[in-house]
Chain A
């Protein structure tokens, strides 16, 4: 009897708590909660900085609240690990769902990424809504906020399909705006407008940690390529970047990642080592057994084979055998604790508070997009301007002809097919979260991932190409928000 009473007490407590958490205190994704509204130019500037912070994401090092946004730091789960480039070491848990194409609407990374993108959008909207507070640099502030908002929507629309379009600060009762999915084509129109504004408002030169004209031009070109229209405009935007002569390929591929003040990176997310607020944890997560989550984003056999065959000098700076577990292969591009054999210095004494920046856009991507724009959806090209951009990438990778042997022209490119371009993008931009988007954009995702899935015993189907809308959002929406097919 006494036990029964105690159980009863417990039941009361449990039911009260569960009701409170689930139904009475929802934290909406795209609504400002507890945000200070800016009153002057200085405060507006600090809101702009908070937009960059939202992209940067929180390192889970000291702050372990599950509701924090990890943003760019967890992007590789929902992009690279969903592709045929990487997997988790164990294949288990929420990370493993991306490896074997069993992602659930309740997946924490799916929700975290979605929430993080709307966090960027919400804060950018706050900047744009108060832009009249800005002084002389109003145009720059507007351009930066629009660039970041456009980037967040571009990430959302590519990963989730139709998504709610929030273009101004809203309050919690604006459920229609929060939960009405807007057609992909309309989201793209909105992104194009944001990037176009950023192009006209921003300067050519800037630190790669902040939005610049070239960053906006490159991202808009990628939007046009993704839409499969406006190839000519994309080409023009990319040639503007090329002809500006502000950027160039680094001579040594390694320096792109381990010498951050290089001239190749156009837009990066900055991190500061050994600083719990400004550092990142993804570098440690990609190692073996360091940090809270680890052993993720390990390299698949398929990516190893592609890098060995086509990577040239890039292979050794892209992947390495895990010294602790020689059957496994790790990503090199973001290692935090150095590698003496590769001549890479450590970025932080504690790998879980690493300082490696994340590269969103670099000049090599611009050159390869230039080829893609000239291909314009065709099967192949022999146009000299495309060949020149393509050859530049291959020459830097050490795939050039032997200068001492005039008969050697084996690596002189004379024709580029779509397959050639896809392979080159795979090995040049491996583990930089491009692969899944490239597969989608080239229209080969179903084909390539079906084969990959069959070879590895996974369960891919075409609906896995879009992530599920987070279950949390669907629950909050009271039936307004529909789920993607297949979930």
Chain B
């Protein structure tokens, strides 16, 4: 009995050693002083320009396994902070170098180029309306009958040109006969999210009808019902004398808008489009 106990103790002892050894293997503990620098430093950073000052760059230090850092901002300025920030005195291209080292003296360097340039304030496009007052020979190449830029056969027939009466601008105006089968349509290039103003003059020939001018988001319209339902802004008028109308609108997310005009019931005249910023 005594003997048995002793054996079991030894067995237990053995078991304990085995368990300890198996754990040690899994943990893979290094022997002191015999290890190479298996985690040498690796320098890395990303540069971001300050949102309020184009001349200031912030540098986020993404180095690994390093303890000391040395920044060379490429303009003569240096730093030993972890993260860097530098204000450049002049526009230009600068090579920024980060040197990262660990306590064993192993060194890694990383360089990146920053462009210091004052951002241009983007100027809004002023839309160009071609044949704005329906005059002959006002296409960019000096030809045209005053209505070539206003066609869209999917939405309706081409406008007629009125040449016989006094019109607000020049000698001709757009004419929409009373059968309301004709339309005017032109796509304009604009800057997104900009406040624009389009003006025009119109009149109707007899009571009981109207003339509508609308601005549509985007372009490529092929369906009249869709076009009529899509207006960002529109005006339907029934004045019998030429009246100046102002349409203010915001171009929204689009870089194209379309002018679309049509009439109802009686003959209508439209003339003298202008486009500009509000």
Contacts and interface: CB of A to CB of B under 8 A. Distances in A.
Contact of B119 (A18, A379, A418, A483): A379
A418 B51 contact: yes
A19 B253 contact: no
B195 A384 contact: yes
Contact of A461 (B26, B51, B61): B61
Interface stretch (A118-126, A295-303, A313-321, A442-450): A442-450
B63 to A, nearest CB: 6
Contact of A16 (B19, B82, B250): B19
Contact of A447 (B9, B58, B62): B58
Given A446-B60, A461-B83, A15 B20 contact: yes
A23 B25 CA distance: 12
A15 B64 CA distance: 33
A233 B254 CA distance: 10
B250 A462 contact: no
A383 B12 contact: no
B192 A15 contact: no
Contacts of B9: 5
B83 A462 contact: yes
Contacts of B20: 11, 15
B103 interface: no
A235 interface: yes
Interface in B240-277: 250, 252-253
Interface string B57-89: 011111110000000000000000011010000
B193 interface: yes
Which of A8, A12, A19, A379 has its CB near the most chain B CB atoms (within 10 A)?
A12
Interface in B20-45: 20, 22-23, 26, 44
Contacts of A346: none
B108 interface: no
Contacts of B23: 15, 18-19, 23
B49 to A, nearest CB: 8
B51 A235 contact: no
Nearest to A461: B82
A483 B42 CA distance: 13
Contacts of A374: 193
Contacts of A236: 253
Which of B62, B122, B193 has its CB near the most chain A CB atoms (within 10 A)?
B193
A52 B52 CA distance: 41
A201 B48 CA distance: 38
28 contacts: A8-B16, A11-B16, A11-B20, A12-B12, A12-B16, A12-B19, A15-B19, A15-B20, A18-B23, A19-B19, A19-B23, A235-B193, A239-B252, A376-B192, A379-B119, A382-B195, A383-B193, A383-B195, A383-B250, A384-B250, A443-B48, A443-B51, A446-B48, A446-B83, A447-B50, A447-B85, A461-B83, A485-B61
Given A385-B250, A444-B51, A462-B59, 20 more contacts: A12-B15, A15-B23, A235-B193, A239-B253, A374-B193, A382-B195, A383-B193, A383-B194, A419-B51, A419-B52, A443-B49, A446-B48, A446-B58, A446-B83, A447-B50, A462-B61, A463-B62, A483-B64, A485-B64, A486-B61
The 10 A-B pairs with the shortest beta carbon distances in the complex, nearest first, are: A462-B60, A15-B19, A383-B193, A235-B253, A485-B62, A12-B16, A232-B253, A374-B193, A462-B83, A461-B82
